[in-house]
Amino acid sequence: MSSNRDGFDIGIICALPLEARAVKAMLEEVNEEIGYGADNGGTGKTPADTNTYTIGKIGHHKVVLVHMSGMGKIPAAAAATNLKQSFGSIKLALLVGICGGAPGKGAESIMLGDVVVGKQVVHYDFGREHENGFQRKDNPEDRPSKQNSEIQSFIRKLEAGKGALEEKTYEHLAAMLESLSPEQIDDLQDNLYPPDCWHIHQNHKYCDGQRCKNCEEICDSALKSSCEELKCDQDALIRRGERKQKPNIHFGWVASGDKVIKSAAVRDKIAEKEGIIAFDMEAAGVWDYLPCILIKGVSDYADSHKNGRWQEYAAIAAAACAKAILEQWDRADKQHQQYQVVSMTLSSLNRGY
């Protein structure tokens, strides 16, 4: 496949190698040749672009996969800026990977392995720290801009056809899960603890300086230990039913910032105040630079019990959903092109050409 920059219409941005690995697995005609400093007579990237790319195809779309230099808003903004600079024909960017989920309640509750599609981004850690606590800046000029009307209407269309999107996502997911061993899948347990059940030493003699004893803070040793090692109270687990074979897709607002949320109390406070369903670290950096859709698999509940067991599955689920969404974008893009052709033809006829 030719790597001429002008032909690429889709950009996919990933912060972590495991996220990029999941996306790369669904690419066709993969080409790894666009790297640092490559310009190759117009087939590489611009000289000032410090991104590293993998190129390929999904359906008829020519896709460029961006491997970010690190996590967070600043690397994300730099990646988006460079992508826009080198690949000016990009019509849609997908931010694909993993996130923390706000579990919620009832029929719309979010479970590990589900997928979140962002409708709007809240920059939750941008503000001022006062004596009485943190105050987020919420003036209109401080908020990430709304997506353009085409992206907004496309997301509304996806939400209206959520059931069909979930079926198509599962179809792609089932094919991609062959990369995971049965043991890895069997080990995936959806464990949700109540907010007042901290990830601390239950036997305080193992605690550094007895800091875990009164639930005032979590000691360094506990932060590095698993729930099994700390013997977190299994009786306190919130029962959520059997793990679903097919992940649900949730549409809603996403909180984005440079801090990893590992506190159920902080998670719930932000979620309730802002109407948030998930937490990520890159969306606020990309949102203002490119027409973007955030697609993230839920790998943890943004609490102190957070671990990496669900990360690979969640990344694969997000990649599968991204592929299903691009199949929908195919039709929307073709309809838009047909509308433009008809409009131009009618305009020419009206002018007597």
Q: Are 65 and 230 in contact (CB under 8 A)?
A: no
- Residues 188, 193: Cα–Cα separation, whole Å: 16
Q: What integer pLDDT is reported at residue 39 of this predicted model?
A: 47
The predicted model scores a pTM of: 0.83
Contact 296, 98 (CB under 8 A): yes
CATH topology for the 5-126+148-190+244-326 domain: Rossmann fold (3.40.50)
Q: What pLDDT does residue 76 have?
A: 95
pLDDT tens by residue, 295-308 = 999 999 988 778 88
For residue 341, the model assigns a pLDDT of 44
Say what the pLDDT of residue 149 is.
87
Query: Please, are residues 293 and 91 in contact by the beta-carbon 8 Å criterion?
Result: no
**Closest-CA residue to 239 (of 296, 193, 299, 304):** 193
Please tell me what DSSP assigns to residue 50: -
For residue 107, the model assigns a pLDDT of 63
Q: Which pLDDT score is estimated for 177?
A: 85
Q: By C-alpha distance, which of 151, 98, 91, 77 is closest to 120?
A: 151
The radius of gyration of the chain's CA atoms, rounded to the nearest angstrom, is 22
pLDDT at position 226, please? Answer: 65
Q: In the chain, at which residue ranges do the beta strands (DSSP E only) sit?
A: 10-14, 28-31, 52-58, 61-67, 92-101, 115-123, 127-130, 133-136, 249-256, 276-280, 292-300
Q: What is the pLDDT at residue 206?
A: 59
- The upper half-sphere exposure of residue 258, i.e. CA atoms within 13 Å in the direction of its Cβ, equals 10
At 114 the three-state DSSP class reads coil
Task: Flag residues of the chain having pLDDT under 50.
Answer: 2-3, 36-42, 130, 140-142, 335-346, 348-349, 353
pLDDT tens digit sequence for 211-247? 555 555 666 666 666 666 656 666 667 777 666 778 9
